Amino acid sequence: MSAQAPVAVVTGGATGLGREIARRLHAGGHRVAIADISAEAATELAAELAAQGPDARAYTVDVGERTAVEKLYAAVVADLGSVEVLVNNAARTQARPLLEITPDELDQVMRVNLNGTFYACQVFGTAMAETGYGRIVNIASLAGQNGGTATGGHYASSKGAVLSATKVFARELAARGVTVNAVSPGPQDSPMVRELLGDGLDGLVAGIPVGRLGSMRFIADMVALLASPDAASVTGACWDANGGLHLR
């Protein structure tokens, strides 16, 4: 593949949904920057993808620190030359009874989920606006729409804030060629969901109108659509995939 292929940065891209998104964008012809707090997992995935086609690089980053996000952008541009797509997927979950969440736990979840997304939208969005083109996709959650607390009330609150941030950045950057959208998954068939719910998984599935967990591969397809040049008329949107748990 050409070195001129578009570059996509996926935060939290080494495992789970982030890994599926990185694989999908890479398969679609993007050079991929896998940014994750786990250097080992990111390096392993980058090596796997790079052996199959376009370039793939691993970057270690804690998105909760703005300076780290700035360094990530600089490193990717130094290595790959540009960034056309940003997927803000990095997130922290913690199943904790709502009234027992401590200030420190609240800060830790908000720091990654909201602050990390906000910082990345600022840093990458500014650079994209200067070039006149960009696609930003934020990973939200059903919990941020309906107030579900199975993954923690602080997680739900952070994802609700991500949805608001998506709108404000979309409004700010629209005239400069940069779209900002969100994808809001419901419960996915993922190791994280199975670990969080344990014996309660069957009960959860029984309560989903379509009677099944979602597919991470399909969520990755949704992200790829929003990340494409053809998605120029979609901004400030939230695309839902929740099995009918939240209708609007």
71-75, 97-101, 108-112, 202-206: segment of lowest average pLDDT: 202-206
Query: Span 151-170, mean pLDDT?
Result: 96
- Alpha-carbon distance of 54 to 23, in angstroms, equals 11
State how far the alpha carbon of 207 is from the alpha carbons of 45, 49, 98, 131, 246, in Å.
35, 37, 21, 46, 12
Residues classed as catalytic: 155
The predicted pLDDT at position 3 comes to 63
Query: Span 25-43, mean pLDDT?
Result: 98
pLDDT band per the 50, 70, 90 thresholds, residue 1: very low
25-39, 154-168, 187-201: segment of lowest average pLDDT: 187-201
The predicted pLDDT at position 9 comes to 99
Q: pLDDT tens digits, residue range 218-248?
A: 999 999 999 999 999 999 999 999 999 999 9
7-11, 147-151, 212-216: segment of lowest average pLDDT: 147-151
- Alpha-carbon distance of 240 to 25, in angstroms, equals 20
- Say which residues have a Cβ less than 8 Å from residue 175's Cβ, sequence separation at least 6: none
The predicted pLDDT at position 80 comes to 97
The predicted pLDDT at position 239 comes to 98
Q: What is the mean pLDDT of the chain?
A: 95
Domains of the chain: 7-241 (3.40.50.720)
Q: pLDDT tens digits, residue range 84-124?
A: 999 999 999 888 999 999 999 999 999 999 999 999 999 99
Bridge partners (DSSP) of residue 118 are none
**Closest to 109 in 3D by CA, of 182, 147, 161, 41:** 161
Q: Which residue has the higher pLDDT, 233 or 196?
A: 233
Q: Which residue has the higher pLDDT, 132 or 149?
A: 132
Helix axes 39-50, 16-27, angle to 10 degrees: 20
Phi, psi of 166 (to 5 degrees): -60, -45
Please give the single-letter amino acid code of residue 158. Answer: S
pLDDT band per the 50, 70, 90 thresholds, residue 148: confident
State how far the alpha carbon of 127 is from the alpha carbons of 10, 15, 87, 162, in Å.
16, 27, 15, 20
State how far the alpha carbon of 3 is from the alpha carbons of 32, 55, 122, 135, in Å.
12, 8, 26, 19
- Alpha-carbon distance of 124 to 133, in angstroms, equals 11
Q: Rounded to the nearest 5 degrees, what angle is found at the Cα of 44, between the Cα atoms of 60 and 229?
A: 70
The predicted pLDDT at position 2 comes to 54
Contact 186, 238 (CB under 8 A): no
